Amino acid sequence: MNRSALRQFCGIFFGLLLLPGAAIGAQGLRGTGDLGVVIERAAGQIQVISTTEQATLATIPGLGDLSHASVVFSRDGRFAFVFGRDGGLTKVDLLTAQIVNRVLQSGNSIGGAISQDGALVAVSNYEPGGVRVFDSTTLELIADIAATHDGGLSKVVGLVDAPGNRFVFSLFDAGEIWIADLTTPKEPVLHKFSAVGRQPYDALITPDGRYYIAGLFGEDGFALIDLWHPEKGVRRILADYGRGKERLPVYKMPHLEGWAIANRAAFVPAMGQHEVLVVDTDDWRARATIPVHGQPVFVMAQPDGRYVWVNYAFPDNEVVQVIDTETLTIASTLSPGKAILHMEFTPRGEHVWISARDDDRLNVYDTRTLERIATLPADKPSGIFFTARANRIGL
């Protein structure tokens, strides 16, 4: 019996022991392309869900502090890597519903990414700062990238993967953006951009992996790097979007990873304004400003680019708005529940899953009819992540 057969055999017997509690046990032989993970932040656990059955398959506890947690997936879609606020990096097997490995890799982390080839998982840290890179199979530490600044380490944000087994990230305290090339994993080659702007707080990479764009907290505007032409340096875009306006208190930092690229425009949450900014992706100039219901948090495009969905910071977080990307107007305003924290589209866009934390509920909407077609109970749900992310650049 070869090793894989043995592992499978043991997995089955373990699965049988769990019966009839199979609801929280092994998933058995099944595809992983329609699976997803939902963060239950208060309980420190995750749900494994199926977008086909629209059902919870398992609940996995023991993941530590999951406030602001995020998830990436192995290239086969079987394993989730969960980044916790407590610095925990947990590898979860979605098929057996078990924690495979868990390391407390720092005191306070903010997110992570998986390399293009799937071999490396990188974590960006607040306390201490820097980026740590782990073997995705064993979680062995492969590289420790010291984001040095002023004799200490800078907080690191906006960490994304880029083509060529690179990671790109921003140094909040240092005002820098670094590209780390992990072609030789234990010897990262760093390309540093300094003076990109004050306090980059988050970033995204366009779906083709070409443009890296960091939002600035310490000043207006965004820092843009064309990764096809790093020699051109950093370009400031939307430098005057808040000029002449009083910035409102920022209740929640907008997320940029969810930026929407649709119909030749990027739809961007304005910091401290009730606005979504529309940027032309040809010349990266402002095309329009769309007044919206509150301070946008996530601004996410349907996979077909026809509409962009927006949720909002407290106290406006009971509403989701749908923007028509042709007319740049609000096509619809939905009330999916209390404290809408996150949205995730099925990969081909027929449905969107929306978490309502204070209703302890997941909502599934049909994107065509805008009708709610299912709800699932969940314990203070926040982030929702589907395995199709494994096949995308920058997610």
Instruction: Compare residues 45 and 98 and give the one whose CB is closer to a second copy.
Output: 98
Backbone angles phi, psi at 22, to 5 degrees: -65, -15
- CB of 16: closest distance to a second copy in angstroms? 7
Choose which of 347, 372, 374, 379 interacts with a second copy (CB under 8 A).
347
- Does position 67 bind a second copy by CB under 8 A? no
- CB of 386: closest distance to a second copy in angstroms? 9
Segment 77-96, which members bind a second copy (CB under 8 A)? 77-79, 94-96
Backbone angles phi, psi at 280, to 5 degrees: -70, 125
Report yes or no: 192 and 144 within 8 Å, Cβ to Cβ: no
Site string for a second copy, 349-378 (x = CB under 8 A): xx-----------------x----------
> How far is it, in rounded angstroms, from Cα 203 to Cα 158?
4
Instruction: Compare residues 7 and 247 and give the one whose CB is closer to a second copy.
Output: 7
Q: Cα–Cα distances in Å, from 79 out to 7, 46, 65, 118, 389?
A: 16, 13, 19, 11, 12
Segment 179-218, which members bind a second copy (CB under 8 A)? 183, 208-210
- CB of 208: closest distance to a second copy in angstroms? 4
| Segment near a second copy (CB under 8 A); pick from 75-83, 215-223, 235-243, 309-317 | 75-83
- CB of 257: closest distance to a second copy in angstroms? 16
Choose which of 108, 287, 305, 370 interacts with a second copy (CB under 8 A).
305
Segment 217-236, which members bind a second copy (CB under 8 A)? 228
- CB of 350: closest distance to a second copy in angstroms? 5
- Does position 8 bind a second copy by CB under 8 A? yes
Instruction: Compare residues 363 and 367 and give the one whose CB is closer to a second copy.
Output: 367
Tokens standing for 56? 């919870």
Instruction: Compare residues 29 and 151 and give the one whose CB is closer to a second copy.
Output: 29
> How far is it, in rounded angstroms, from Cα 271 to Cα 25?
43
Site string for a second copy, 265-284 (x = CB under 8 A): -----------------x--
| Segment near a second copy (CB under 8 A); pick from 170-178, 315-323, 346-354, 376-384 | 346-354
- CB of 276: closest distance to a second copy in angstroms? 19
Tokens standing for 224? 């843009």
Choose which of 54, 101, 250, 304 interacts with a second copy (CB under 8 A).
304
B/e letters for 108-145, b = 16+ CB within 10 Å, e = fewer, are bbbbbbbbbebbbbbbbbbebbbbbbbebeebeebbeb
Provide Rg for the chain, Cα atoms.
20
Segment 115-174, which members bind a second copy (CB under 8 A)? 116-118, 161, 163-165
Q: Which positions touch a second copy (CB under 8 A)?
A: 1-2, 4-5, 7-9, 11-12, 15-16, 19-20, 22, 26, 28-35, 50-52, 73-79, 94-96, 116-118, 161, 163-165, 183, 208-210, 228, 262, 264, 282, 303-306, 326, 347-350, 368, 387-388, 390-393
